């Protein structure tokens, strides 16, 4: 007893990793914690609040962006790896980013750093938004495929390495930025 926010979030991430985000319900979460569903609402204002806390945990290990354009591809790979550490990581983080103003999100620091180097402000924003979108999209796509697979409705998969696919796409995108640099 004496639930803490951290313990609840950890348990919620465990359920998501095992069964997927659609199976994360307040009632099920409460049951696995040995508590009534309403008990969760003392610690979290709503399910959205809980999902937000989960997203924050996922992003906790993201190092602050620093460096020039060449560091962009490793930053993208790092974020992608963080999102993929938990199932539906992209969906959780994406939802929270939408609720935040751009200046408080993960992409803004990238934009700022790129302005510091060689990029015009408009291009820096396009670069930051574009790379962030690619990372989120690839991670989200993989999450959806994994969910479909676990439900047995998956299409025949080409045996590929998703992280490599993203790297290729980001490399192309960064090359496009260099051309305009």
Partner DNA sequence: ACCTGAACACCGTTCAAGT
Shortest separation between residue 153's beta carbon and DNA, angstroms: 12
Q: Does 133 contact DNA by CB under 7 A?
A: no
Q: Does 101 contact a copy of itself by CB under 8 A?
A: yes
Supply 74's token pair.
């490793």
Inter-residue contact 140 to 42 (CB < 8 Å): no
Q: How far apart are CA 72 and CA 109, in angstroms?
A: 12
CA-wise closest residue to 102 among 128, 122, 141, 121: 128
Q: How far apart are CA 174 and CA 76, in angstroms?
A: 11
Binding mask 21-50 for DNA (x = CB under 7 A): ---xxxxx-----xxxxxx-xxx-xxxx--
Q: How far apart are CA 44 and CA 61, in angstroms?
A: 23
**Which among 21-29, 53-61, 67-75, 140-148 is the span making contact with a copy of itself, rule CB under 8 A?**
140-148
32 or 117: CB nearest DNA: 32
Contact with a copy of itself (CB under 8 A): which of 100, 117, 118, 120? 100
Inter-residue contact 35 to 46 (CB < 8 Å): no
34 or 155: CB nearest a copy of itself: 155
Q: Where are the alpha helices (DSSP H) in 36-161?
A: 40-43, 47-59, 72-84, 89-99, 106-117, 121-150
Contact with a copy of itself (CB under 8 A): which of 63, 155, 159, 161? 155
Query: Which residues would be at the binding site for DNA (CB under 7 A)?
Result: 1-3, 24-28, 34-39, 41-43, 45-48
Binding site for a copy of itself (CB under 8 A): 94-95, 98-102, 104, 122-123, 126-127, 129-130, 133-134, 136-138, 140-141, 144-145, 148, 153-156, 158, 165, 168-169, 171-180
């Amino acid at each position: 007893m004496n639930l803490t926010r951290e313990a609840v979030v950890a348990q919620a991430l465990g359920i998501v990793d095992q069964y997927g985000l659609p199976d994360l319900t307040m009632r099920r979460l409460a049951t696995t914690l040995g508590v009534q569903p309403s008990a969760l609402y003392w610690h979290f204002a709503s399910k959205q609040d809980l999902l937000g806390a989960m997203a924050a945990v996922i992003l906790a290990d993201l190092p602050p962006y620093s460096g020039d354009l060449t560091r962009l591809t490793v930053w993208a790979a790092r974020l992608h790896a963080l999102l993929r550490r938990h199932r539906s990581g992209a969906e959780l983080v994406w939802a929270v980013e939408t609720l935040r103003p751009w200046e408080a999100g993960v992409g803004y620091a990238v934009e700022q750093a790129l302005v510091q180097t060689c990029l015009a402000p408009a291009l820096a924003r396009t670069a930051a938004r574009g790379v962030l979108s690619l990372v989120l999209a690839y991670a989200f796509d993989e999450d959806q495929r994994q969910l479909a697979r676990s439900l047995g409705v998956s299409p025949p998969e080409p045996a590929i390495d998703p992280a490599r696919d993203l790297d290729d796409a980001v490399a192309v995108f960064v090359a496009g930025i260099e051309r305009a640099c």
